[in-house]
Amino acid sequence: MAEEGLRFMNFYSSSSLCSPSRSSLLTGRYQSRTGIWPGVLPCGGLGGLPLNETTIAAQLKKVGYSTGMVGKWHLGVGLHEEYLPIKHGFDHYVGLPYSHDMCPFTICFYPNESCYGEGVPETTPCPLYEDETIVQQPADFLKLSETYSTAATGFIHEMAGKEQPFFLYMAFQHTHRPQFAGKMFTDSSIRGPFGDALNELDWQVGRIFDAINETGVSKNTFVFFTADNGPSLAREYRAGNAGPLRCGKATTYEGGMREPAIAWWPGRIKPGKTSELAATVDLFPTISKLADIPIPSDRIIDGVDMSQILFEDKMSNRESYIYYPAFPDPDVGIYAIRYREYKAHYYTKGGDYPNFYPDDMCKGSAKETRHDPPLLFNLNEDPGELNPLNVKESPYKEIVQTIDEIKAKFEATVVWGESEMNKGVTNAAKPCAKPGCTPFPQCCATS
């Protein structure tokens, strides 16, 4: 980045998995309301982000913005491709509609090194979409990052040349498993495949910032960089780590849902860091405020405007945050709540990590456990969530009472949306460049 932005130390996703976290980022609403639960949307799924939800893109189009998306969507395709980004307020789209581990794996590293694992052979090869058309199947992973960054920078140059206000949602395919990298970055890191993939992601970010600076729009452009969930920690996937935070992806521990985040706007945002509480759901109301667009009044928006953190060095409007598990159940509801520096776990459950993982609470063998009273941690002093506080004594007893009240008040507002994940899967909804071809799915290819 040309200038270092404001780094968030306490920034959260709504879920430790892809689909629900992305739906919340774009709509400002928890997945329990939008129906993007449980788990993630599958290849061939009949569900998707409901068309009556308003995304940031649709919101900005109300005031004349051009909108583009590049990268991983993972909010549904549908039987008639009715859930693609083009149907959710985006004028242009280039990308894969879901995680690339949901396809049969091909070549991942230059020149011809295969991917780790087998992927999902019964699904169609990974489709690269341009708007609503499959332009490449299977997608070429050795050139995918170049394709993405070229599409993103091309959009920026085109809009800037027209002096047209624009919104770009860039959702990198990296560093989700399987790791991949092209010619420039294969064997570029001592960190191995994960490091190679991370270097390639960094290069893509650099190209986007180059385009912003080259076109002269940096002084009038708000950039926000974050992640959709914590890292997968399974060693066989050549994955990352969550540093001092406990566990990772697929858990409601801090490693699963606290994310890196940087806000950048030269001349408007001062370089530095903040420990104020904020989350991906806050982007919808914040961007709406910046563009002077009223928040939709016909639905509950869970996000809060974080402009005062970004531009005024003031405290957050947010005092609490809700943690839903990867596979929510309306009969169970909330797993944990953060209130200021305190976090109460009403339920805990391990992730998808094998039994050789060193922390027993992160393993798949750590089944759902109810805690009454909840486990309470001071995250400022104990970000690893290792030392529960004595909730039978003051002041922690009173803190739990406050969190219980927050939980009851929030849950009283939730009407669970119909599960989009439970609408079923069919071969007819699996993206195919040659619909109706045989033998399926191998025949689904652009060449």
For residue 343, the cross-strand partners are: 338, 377
Contact 276, 256 (CB under 8 A): no
Cis peptide before 266 (omega within 30 of 0): no
d(CA 64, CA 85): 18
For residue 415, give every residue at least 6 positions away whose Cβ sits within 8 Å of its Cβ, in sequence order, or none: 33
Beta strands in 220-351 (DSSP E): 223-226, 258-264, 272-279, 320-323, 336-339, 342-348
Q: Is 160 helix (H, G, I), strand (E, B) or coil?
A: helix
* Residue 43 to residue 96: CA distance in whole angstroms: 11
Residues 6+ apart with CB under 8 A from 258: 10, 11, 12, 230, 245
The Cα 370–Cα 354 span in angstroms is 22
E strands of 265-393, at which residues? 272-279, 320-323, 336-339, 342-348, 369-378
- Residues catalogued as catalytic: 18, 74
Q: How many CB atoms lie within 10 A of CB 356?
A: 8
Tracing tokens 């993405």 back to the chain, one arrives at: 148
Torsion of CA 189, 193, 195, 199, to 10 degrees: 90
